[in-house]
Amino acid sequence: MGMLAKIRRMRFREQLSVREITRRTGLSRNTIRTWLRQEGMIEPRYPTRVMASKLDPYKAQLQAWLQTDSHRIKRERRTARVLFQLLQAQGYPGGYGRVVSYVRQWREQHSAGPTRPGYVPLKFELGEAFQFDWSCEYAVIGGLRRRLEVAHVKLAASRVFHLVAYPVQSHEMLFDAHTRAFIAFGGVPRRGIYDNMKTAVDRVGRGKERVVNARFQAMCSHYLFEPEFCNRAAGWEKGIVEKNVQDRRRQLWQAAARLHWSSLSVLNDWLAAECQAAQLDMRHPDWPQLTLADVFEREQGQLMPLPRPFDGYVEHSVRISSTALMFYQRNRYSVPSEYAHHIVSLHVYPTELVIVAQGQAVARHARSFERDHTFYDWQHYLPLLERKPGALRNGAPFTTMPEPFLRLRHHLLRHVGGDRVMAQVLAAVPTHGIGAVQVAVELALESGRPSSEHVLNVLARLKGTAVTPATIATTLTLAEEPKADVQRYDGLRTAREACHVE
């Protein structure tokens, strides 16, 4: 419309010729004459020029992928970069920008959602606060696709973040995530911002009234930060970590989902390394000229000192069965047999279970999140062998003994009374240690005819060579040091005794 008005002014007000208008505007004379002959101020519209694109042969495939993703939950939809990489694998020679533009247009045309609301931007002082949130992700661990609960801890000022994955959301996982994040940050901010998660809030009252979980409050008191909880259904109050969940899902978990992990600890090590690497590459949104690492270096000096790690266990009272087994989350774990039928305390950690009796840890087991498994420590049942040596033949705990002990048991149980002999050998484990007894068993097996006397004799000789005489401190001094002289005895004998000996 502006060009048409300009041409009309030059023609009808300045009385310029069509040739002069052509020279000044660069338009053709035919175009200028056509526009001047029209009645009214309507600028002509020309059809959009259709140009061949390198993306055209792949649009059908791209549309199929986008249509498939539209039926998936939001966190599992593929990003434009992932779709671009898939097209490249099929031979697409074009650029990333064309794919992004097409994906954006397609999603805008097929979007039926409501208009997005507006939010107030947040600003925090250095060292003032961190925000915490959980997200649900999936990864292949140990050959199986597993659901993971990922803890996101993000500093509100420097935007540095730390991620840890767990099998479930529970108190011990929450405490461990805070400990790991504070160690990675090298300090503790003054405030923590949360939603109303059940692991922290027992009951939500009116307004900001909250009944905070006592164990969670103990962790906050240990690290000296003040917890702050958002209003109901107001996730934008911790929008920094909410966005972190979305960004990491598009970046880290797109890569993690394509890999196979041998264990959860290996995955967490990789996540920690990726979080460290992101600090060096990502730009701060408020200061684009600085990286996250640059701002984090300033914020570290404003953090509170890091105390010793919080002992973040959850305690339960459990009763030990007659078979010296403790039941927890549909699994069974052995304890020393003398605690059968007793009630003991169970301390639950993210990766370990500790059984405590009379203030002392009496057993430890690696925690399993599978179901209907039994985990034995065969040394827990050694006191029972004095009265029940026959249990060595079919006792389930004794199938987990080291391989030399299993070979010795197989050899001895072929003879009458072999169970008692094997029980005598195992009775030496609490006294001499499993390492020394295992060496003695291996040496006895090499002889071809092992027995309890043989094993105990080898064990005594091994212990004898290892013992060094103790030095006793005394104020007494010898006037004459003893000499290693075997002829001295002959000099002490009388002549009569000498004749008698001869």
Identify which of 131, 123, 256, 263 has the alpha carbon closest to the alpha carbon of residue 197: 131
3-state secondary structure (DSSP) of residue 312: coil
Could you read off the pLDDT of 385-423 as tens digits, one per residue? Answer: 888 888 888 889 999 999 988 988 888 888 888 888 888
Count Cβ atoms below 10 Å from residue 103 Cβ, excluding itself.
20
Helix axes 434-447, 418-426, angle to 10 degrees: 140
Identify which of 178, 173, 147 has the alpha carbon closest to the alpha carbon of residue 162: 178
Cα-based distances in Å from 129 to 108, 155, 198, 491? 36, 6, 21, 90
Kindly report whether the global pTM for this prediction surpasses the value 0.85: no
- The residues with which 363 forms a beta bridge, in sequence order, are 355
Cα-based distances in Å from 444 to 277, 309, 454? 55, 47, 6
The torsion angles phi and psi of 79, rounded to 5 degrees, stand at -80, 170
How many secondary structure helices (H) and strands (E) does the chain include? 20, 15
The torsion angles phi and psi of 195, rounded to 5 degrees, stand at -90, -175
Q: Do 371 and 360 form a contact (C-beta atoms < 8 A)? A: no
Return the ∠ at Cα 282 (arms to 242 and 293), rounded to 5°. 100
Query: How many CA atoms are closer than 13 Å to the CA of 149, on its beta-carbon side?
Result: 14
Q: Could you report how far apart the first and last alpha carbons of the chain are, in Å?
A: 142
List Cβ neighbours of 237 (8 Å cut-off, separation of 6 or more).
193, 230, 231
DSSP track, 148-166: EEEEEEEETTT--EEEEEE
Q: Do 340 and 320 form a contact (C-beta atoms < 8 A)? A: yes
Residue 447's Cβ-count burial label (10 Å; 0-12, 13-18, 19+) is exposed
List Cβ neighbours of 124 (8 Å cut-off, separation of 6 or more).
156, 157
What is the residue type of 259? L
List Cβ neighbours of 18 (8 Å cut-off, separation of 6 or more).
11, 29, 32, 33
Q: Is residue 372 left, alpha or beta, with left meaning phi > 0 and alpha meaning psi from -120 to 50?
A: left
**pLDDT score for 466:** 45
pLDDT along the chain (502 residues), means of 10: 80 87 88 79 68 86 89 82 90 90 87 66 90 93 92 94 94 94 94 91 87 92 93 83 88 87 93 92 91 93 93 92 93 93 94 92 92 92 88 89 89 85 87 86 81 76 58 74 72 62 52
Give how far the C-alpha of residue 54 lies from the chain's centroid of Cα atoms, to the nearest Å.
43
CA dihedral (339, 340, 342, 348) positive or negative:
positive
Cα-based distances in Å from 257 to 15, 63, 253, 260? 71, 23, 6, 8
- What secondary structure letter does DSSP report for 382? G
Strands (E), 295-370: 314-319, 325-328, 331-334, 343-348, 352-357, 360-366
The torsion angles phi and psi of 386, rounded to 5 degrees, stand at -65, -35
Distance separating alpha carbons of residues 492 and 502, to the nearest angstrom: 16
